[in-house]
């Protein structure tokens, strides 16, 4: 049932999110610090039980040089170089079992499925630790891990991991570095937006029902997790409200969108109470490049599901054919 704006309202809505003054400086500094660690990609072939796909257990150095795990899937019968896709996970999930994500490689892509540090026990198991403890008390989950300090926040680490996952994929010779897309749903969508905003070599972006967008609005209009983690923290730490949202401003998809020039495909769902549609349209209206959004009228947070997947496959086929692998640059 409708609990957010309707279609007309979504088209009119513009987010009130304001970028922190030092937004770009913050991220430049974070990425530079991370760059002090070589990417150090290692890939080990897996006895996958598959005949059409080669699977590798990958690790690379993410934020702080911490080892980040992932699966690399390559179509066995390939003529290099092939386009690449980096995919990110939804909240609580990890890279999963290697048999769970066969889509992109079956469609001919070099596919890196990045694990989310510290997550990966909720519905797809992960294998990556987040060895950094929070700077204060937290609500269980990642939203308030480091909530009173941007540099120490969990999402600084995860966003940097996401950016560096593209470097990891680029390091494989089989990959056409001019044709790399970033994709994901929910938290994965936020990470795709982050990678596209903080790099200048991403060729396309697919973000389904993205999380972490228009965050303060979201935390007020829904009781669904994980946005509600913020509200639960503030219900106890009553004096922390402004500090908390000042921290979260560095991760807001609306600010990221203003920095994305690659073509971007979004989806939203009219009855999504986890990532309410207005917060996705808040992102959409700020995108700096080509953009398309699909609103699913009767869906919740599952969004378009396999129909979103098909739409993503078609979108990337079109953009990669059209561009013949252009190197997109920012600014």
Q: Which residues are catalytic?
A: 186, 272, 301
For 218-286, strand residue ranges (E) read 264-269
Give whole-number Cα distances, 239 to 137, 230, 242, 294, in Å: 14, 13, 8, 39
How far is it, in rounded angstroms, from Cα 237 to Cα 235? Answer: 6
Between 64 and 289, name the residue whose CB sits nearer to a second copy. 64
Residue 204: CB minimum distance to a second copy, A = 15
Cα(91)–Cα(68) distance, integer angstroms: 16
Q: Which of 89, 261 has the CB closer to a second copy?
A: 89
Dihedrals φ, ψ of 59, to 5°?
Answer: -135, 145
Q: What is the rounded distance in angstroms from the CA atom of residue 221 to the CA atom of residue 96?
A: 31
Characterize the bridge pairing of strands 82-88 and 110-114. parallel
Contact present, 146 and 154 (Cβ < 8 Å) = yes
Q: Shortest approach of a second copy to residue 288 CB, angstroms?
A: 28
156 or 222: CB nearest a second copy: 222
What is the C-alpha to C-alpha distance for residues 194 and 220, in angstroms, rounded to an integer?
A: 23
Considering only CA atoms, which of 313, 188, 197, 318 is closest in space to residue 250? Answer: 197
In the complex with a second copy, the residue whose CB is nearer, 88 or 233, is 233
With beta carbons less than 8 A apart as the criterion, state whether 72 and 48 touch.
no
User: Which of 91, 89, 31 has the alpha carbon at shortest distance from 63?
Assistant: 31
Q: Which residues contact 160 (CB under 8 A, 6 or more apart)?
A: 30, 31, 34, 62, 63
Q: Write the CB contacts of 93 (distance below 8 Å, at least 6 apart in sequence).
A: 116, 119, 120, 122, 123, 124, 126
Q: Whole-number minimum distance, CB 191 to a second copy, in Å? A: 16
- 139 or 287: whose CB is closer to a second copy? 139
User: What is the smallest separation between the CB atom of 163 and a second copy, expressed in angstroms?
Assistant: 20
User: Of 306, 89, 129, which Cα lies nearest the Cα of 210?
Assistant: 89
- Minimum Å gap between C-beta 86 and a second copy is 19
223/292 with CB nearer a second copy:
223
């Amino acid at each position: 049932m409708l609990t957010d704006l309707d279609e007309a309202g979504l088209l009119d809505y513009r987010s009130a999110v304001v970028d922190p003054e030092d937004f770009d400086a913050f991220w430049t500094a974070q990425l530079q610090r991370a760059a002090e660690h070589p990417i150090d990609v290692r890939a080990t072939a897996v006895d996958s039980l598959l005949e059409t796909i080669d699977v590798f257990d990958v690790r690379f150095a993410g934020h702080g040089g911490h080892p980040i795990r992932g699966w690399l899937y390559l179509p066995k019968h390939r003529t290099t170089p092939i386009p690449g896709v980096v995919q990110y996970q939804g909240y609580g999930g990890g890279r999963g079992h290697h048999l769970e994500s066969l889509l992109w490689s079956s469609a001919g892509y070099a596919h890196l499925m990045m694990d989310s540090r510290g997550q990966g026990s909720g519905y797809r198991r992960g294998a990556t630790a987040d060895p950094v403890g929070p700077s204060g008390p937290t609500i269980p989950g990642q939203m308030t891990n480091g909530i009173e300090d941007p540099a120490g926040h969990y999402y600084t680490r995860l966003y940097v991991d996401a950016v560096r996952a593209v470097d990891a994929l680029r390091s494989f010779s089989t990959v056409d570095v001019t044709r790399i897309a970033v994709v994901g749903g929910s938290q994965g969508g936020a990470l795709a937006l982050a990678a596209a905003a903080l790099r200048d070599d991403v060729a396309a972006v697919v973000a389904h029902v993205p999380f972490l967008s228009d965050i303060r609005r979201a935390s007020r209009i829904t009781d669904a997790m994980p946005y509600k983690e913020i509200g639960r923290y503030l219900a106890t730490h009553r004096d922390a409200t402004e500090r908390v949202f000042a921290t979260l401003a560095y991760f807001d998809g609306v600010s990221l969108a203003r920095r994305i020039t690659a073509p971007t495909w979004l989806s939203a769902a009219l009855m999504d109470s986890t990532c309410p549609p207005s917060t996705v349209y808040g992102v959409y209206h700020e995108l700096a490049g080509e953009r398309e959004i699909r609103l699913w009228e009767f869906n919740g947070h599952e969004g378009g599901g396999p129909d979103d997947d098909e739409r993503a496959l078609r979108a990337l086929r079109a953009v990669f054919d059209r561009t013949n692998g252009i190197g997109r640059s920012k600014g």
